[in-house]
């Protein structure tokens, strides 16, 4: 195999980050849950939140009042995945609490105060992705979600309810819902609360302002009148109301019939040099990582590769924030890549729908990754259809023009291939394809692509069509990639993250793009300000009895 940039001596492996660091586990099956209880009854699934106070994801904080950290949210994401893939009969999911008097107090404040900035932002991003997956499951899979709010519901707890199709609130004269982040914590609702108030539930602007600055929240008939909840039920008839509403929502479901999918474990082999799965392998360097997907004709390749890719993207975010650039490669047979891509075009059953949506969610996770994304297309690559989507998600695409001439038996020149998958079936969060986003406003360029559907496109033509950024030859290939990574690592990481986030999402605005833009712009900034995180800030003084000291100058 050719000695590419991964063998350049300059990029030596370093172990200082890996040693002593507990890597995050994103693959937790329901039988290993510590915080959620999942039960299945015919067409209804019930998720009961009873947070284990003594099981924080890191540190020594207590998860009181059903407050959550990344561990709680990883379990929720896994529960939703198991429902979608493993239980095709489910048409409604009820989310409720097993803790007397409390639904959910939101993100754990002690965790937020103790976590570094990177973890706080990635935690909010992951939680947002999970909430949006619930809404996607409702809109595209036909699985309806019911929030059975049977106790105090604040902050992220209410944001979880907002992600559901229907909110049923216990009317006991004391239980309220609230978004107290601004008055109590000096930050913002981090998982889309403000956006969902206005864009999803259409709460009037002044009422949204009142609600978001009223720390004690709103309850009962006022919450119903304002549209903050959909239904009330007294304590004595609450469970009956939950059952009745869940059955009604199930009747509204459009979910297709399908076959249960067994979800394989994705736990990789990890070391200071590699993260290795069955079909995905990541090589770790000083300032960057190289991710390669191996393509085969195995019948379970599509499922396993999507799960592995999704898992490693989460790991790279949380556990390797110092790696600023991610180089994407593929390796395998063109015929196998075409075969696998064709497996995503037929969606007549729920399992086929969910497989396609799993890839879609995985790709949107890539879109939101706060790392420079670059694709290296070489002889032996197979960037076709769904795998070409990986390249189209990148900030730069390098494609070698010709062959590696120093080989005794050089592989044929690299090519790429557009399929139906690239023309709308895998939209970004802005609801347009990556091709449309790439050529936003250039209708002529988009029209020029149609004749090349399912045709091998070599480097020169790919450059002419605007599908790649640069086409170095064999002599310049290694140097071009090396210099790009060196240049990237010399820039401000903060500036790069902001620049890339701005450029990746051209075109129309959606609720999802608003949520992520506001997270990256506002929450990223607010979290670092002294009013929130300073020694006298709200996060540090919360629960101490001492009021936060706010600098009231506005910028």
- Tell me 257's DSSP state: P
User: What is the structure's pLDDT at 14?
Assistant: 34
- The model's pLDDT over 81-117, given as tens digits with 9 standing for 90+, comes to 999 999 999 999 999 999 999 999 999 999 988 899 8
Spatial separation of the C-alpha atoms in residues 362 and 129, rounded to whole Å:
10
* Residues forming beta bridges with residue 275, ordered by sequence position: 270, 282
Distance between first and last Cα of the chain: 55
Give 20's pLDDT tier (boundaries 50, 70, 90): very low
Mean pLDDT of 184-213: 94
- Nearest Cα to 417, choosing from 334, 346, 359? 334
- As a whole number of angstroms, the distance between CA 154 and CA 292 comes to 42
The phi and psi torsions of 38 (rounded to 5 degrees) equal: -105, 125
Look at residue 8 and tell me whether its pLDDT is greater than 70.
no
Percentage of residues in the chain having pLDDT higher than 70: 96
Q: How confident is the model at residue 164 (pLDDT cuts 50, 70, 90)?
A: very high
Strands of 345-386 (E only): list them: 372-377, 383-384
Please tell me whether residue 345 adopts helix, strand or coil conformation: coil
Mean pLDDT throughout 213-237?
97
504-520: pLDDT as tens digits: 988 999 999 999 988 87
What local confidence, expressed as pLDDT, does residue 446 receive?
A: 86
Mean pLDDT of 362-371: 96
Structure tokens at 514: 């608003």
Tokens of 268: 């990789």
Q: According to the model, what pLDDT value does residue 389 have?
A: 98
What percent of the chain shows pLDDT beyond 90?
A: 83
pLDDT at 491 over 50: yes
Residue 529: the pLDDT is 87
* Cβ atoms within 10 Å, residue 43: 18
- Only one residue has tokens 């429902």, namely 83
Average the pLDDT over 16-37 and give the result: 78
Domains detected in the chain = 30-252 (3.90.226.10), 264-489 (3.90.226.10)
pLDDT digits (tens, 9 = 90+) for 259-310: 999 999 998 999 999 999 999 999 999 999 999 999 999 999 999 999 999 9
182 contacts 188 by C-beta, under 8 angstroms: yes
**pLDDT at res. 16:** 32
Higher pLDDT, 63 or 12: 63
DSSP class of 5: G
Residue 19 has pLDDT above 50, yes or no: no
Per-residue pLDDT at 190: 87
What would you measure as the largest C-alpha separation in the chain, in angstroms?
A: 81
| Residues 364, 317 contacting (CB under 8 angstroms) | no
pLDDT attached to residue 5: 39
Structure tokens at 155: 């902050």
Residue 384, pLDDT above cutoff 70? yes
Quickly tell me which residue has 């790709």 as its tokens: 363
The owner of tokens 């556990």 is 319
Q: Is 220 exposed, middle or buried (0-12, 13-18, 19+ CB in 10 A)?
A: middle
Q: How many residues does the chain have?
A: 555
Q: What pLDDT is recorded for position 111?
A: 93
pLDDT in tens, 432-463: 999 999 999 998 998 899 999 999 999 999 99
Q: Tell me whether residue 7 is exposed, middle or buried, using C-beta atoms within 10 angstroms of its C-beta: 0 to 12, 13 to 18, 19 or more.
A: exposed
Token pair, residue 519, equals 């997270």
* 465 vs 461: CA distance, rounded Å: 6
- CB–CB of 418/457 below 8 Å? yes
**Looking at residue 263, what is its pLDDT?**
95
Q: Which residue has the higher pLDDT, 53 or 517?
A: 53
Q: What is the structure's pLDDT at 518?
A: 82
d(CA 404, CA 412): 9
Flag whether pLDDT at 382 surpasses 80.
yes
**Cα 430 from chain centroid?**
14
pLDDT value of position 17: 35
**Model pLDDT, residue 555:** 77
DSSP category for residue 394: S
Give the integer Cα–Cα distance in Å for 395 and 106. 35
Return d(Cα 237, Cα 224) in angstroms, integer. Answer: 17
Q: Is the pLDDT of residue 543 over 90?
A: no
Q: Look at residue 213 in the predicted model and tell me its pLDDT.
A: 97
The model's pTM: 0.93
Instruction: Report the C-alpha gap between 509 and 518 in whole angstroms.
Output: 12
Give every CB contact of residue 116 below 8 A, 6+ residues apart in sequence.
Answer: none
Calculate the CA 84 to chain-centre distance.
16
* Whole-number pLDDT of residue 540: 87
**pLDDT of amino acid 2:** 39
pLDDT at 15: 33
Instruction: For residue 480, give the H/E element and its range.
Output: helix 477-490
* CA–CA dist 413, 317 (Å, integer): 33
């Amino acid at each position: 195999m050719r000695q590419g940039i991964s063998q350049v001596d300059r990029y030596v492996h370093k172990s200082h980050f890996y040693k002593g660091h507990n890597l995050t586990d994103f693959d937790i099956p329901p039988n290993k849950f510590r915080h959620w209880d999942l039960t299945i009854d015919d067409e209804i699934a019930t998720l009961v939140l009873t947070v284990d106070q003594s099981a924080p994801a890191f540190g020594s904080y207590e998860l009181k009042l059903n407050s959550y950290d990344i561990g709680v949210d990883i379990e929720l994401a896994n529960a939703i995945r198991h429902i979608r893939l493993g239980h095709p009969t489910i048409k409604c999911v009820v989310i409720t609490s097993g803790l007397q008097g409390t639904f959910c107090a939101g993100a754990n404040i002690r965790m937020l105060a103790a976590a570094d900035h990177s973890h706080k932002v990635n935690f909010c991003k992951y939680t947002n992705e999970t909430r949006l997956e619930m809404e996607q499951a409702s809109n595209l899979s036909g699985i309806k979600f019911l929030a059975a709010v049977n106790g105090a519901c604040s902050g992220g707890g209410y944001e979880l309810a907002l992600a559901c199709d229907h909110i049923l609130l216990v009317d006991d004269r004391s239980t309220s819902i609230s978004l107290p982040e601004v008055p109590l914590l000096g930050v913002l609702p981090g998982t889309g609360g403000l956006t969902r108030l206005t864009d999803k539930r259409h709460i009037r602007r002044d009422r949204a302002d009142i609600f978001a600055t009223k720390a004690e929240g709103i309850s009962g008939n006022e919450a119903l009148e304002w549209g903050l909840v959909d239904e009330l039920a007294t304590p004595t008839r609450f469970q009956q109301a939950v059952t009745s509403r869940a059955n009604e929502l199930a009747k509204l479901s459009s979910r297709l019939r399908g076959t249960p999918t067994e979800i394989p474990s994705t736990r990789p082999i990890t070391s200071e040099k590699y993260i290795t799965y069955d079909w995905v392998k990541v090589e770790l360097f000083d300032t960057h990582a190289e991710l390669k997907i191996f393509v085969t004709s195995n019948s379970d390749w599509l499922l396993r590769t999507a799960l592995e890719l999704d898992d490693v993207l989460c790991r790279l975010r949380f556990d390797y924030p110092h790696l600023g650039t991610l180089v994407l490669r593929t390796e395998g047979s063109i015929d196998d890549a075409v075969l696998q891509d064709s497996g995503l075009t037929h969606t007549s059953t729920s399992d086929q729908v969910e497989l396609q949506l799993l890839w879609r969610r995985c790709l949107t996770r890539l879109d939101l990754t706060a790392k420079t994304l670059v694709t290296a297309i070489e002889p032996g690559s197979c960037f076709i259809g769904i795998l070409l989507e990986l390249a189209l998600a990148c900030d730069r695409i390098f494609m070698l023009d010709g062959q590696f001439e120093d080989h005794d038996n050089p592989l044929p020149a690299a090519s790429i291939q557009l399929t139906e998958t690239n023309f709308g079936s895998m939209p970004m969060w802005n609801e347009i394809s990556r091709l449309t986003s790439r050529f936003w406003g250039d209708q002529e360029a988009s029209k020029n692509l149609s004749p090349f559907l399912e045709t091998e496109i070599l480097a020169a033509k790919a450059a002419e069509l605007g599908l790649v950024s640069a086409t170095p030859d064999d002599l310049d290939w290694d140097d071009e990639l090396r210099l790009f990574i060196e240049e990237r690592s010399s820039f401000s990481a903060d500036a790069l993250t902001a620049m890339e986030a701005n450029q990746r999402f051209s075109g129309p605005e959606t609720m999802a793009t608003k949520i992520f833009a506001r997270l990256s712009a506002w929450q990223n900034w607010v979290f670092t300000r002294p009013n929130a995180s300073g020694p006298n800030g709200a996060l540090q003084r919360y629960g101490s009895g001492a009021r936060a000291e706010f600098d009231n100058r506005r910028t």
